[in-house]
Amino acid sequence: MEKISNNDFIPLIGEKNKIIGFEKKEKIHSEGLFHSAVSVFVFDTKNNLMLQKRSSMKYHSSLLWTNTCCTHPKKDESILKAAHRCLMEEMGFDCFLKQIFSFSYNEFLSNGLIEYELDHVFMGNYEKPPIINHKEVECWKWISLNELIKNIRINPNSYTIWLKIILDNYVNYFYN
């Protein structure tokens, strides 16, 4: 599988959430340009979420816990295809995914980068342990949403900004 490098172009978003062009990932995050993103949440049959800790090699939000995987679609790649690609690249498996909602947010990260994203959130089910890519993922675990929400309240700086936003505002989507 091909990995998004800083030289790959990802979609810029304009009015009515339409793609208006493409730009390099590094420039998008340094200038705070509105762009497309994908977040995947995979649950087991006990409704535990597969959580990953981002690799120390990530250029932002490294070593923070986050949802199962996240990425940006490449130029000429659908959002759904990007979600499946990300699962394979980061977690070493694929499963049926359903888009459950989208939302936008604009947040400054601790290293001066800016996340200004239209994030498309997908949900799937899987039972087996992942085969993680250590360039992308430090480690992983299963956790219930209630326990995760409790942990975020106690240690908010251990989690990615987008995960906290999703769980603060959209957690009910995962219970349907």
Query: Which residues are annotated as catalytic?
Result: 70, 117
Q: Which residue has the tokens 């800790």?
A: 53
Cα 162 from chain centroid (whole Å): 8
In sequence order, which ranges of the chain are alpha helices (DSSP H)? 25-31, 79-86, 145-154, 161-169
**Helices vs. strands in the chain: H and E counts, helices first:** 4, 9
C-alpha angle 133-135-138 in degrees, rounded to nearest 5: 75
Asked whether the beta carbons of 71 and 82 are under 8 A apart, the reply is: yes
In 3D space, the residue among 80, 27, 63 whose CA is nearest the CA of residue 71 turns out to be 80
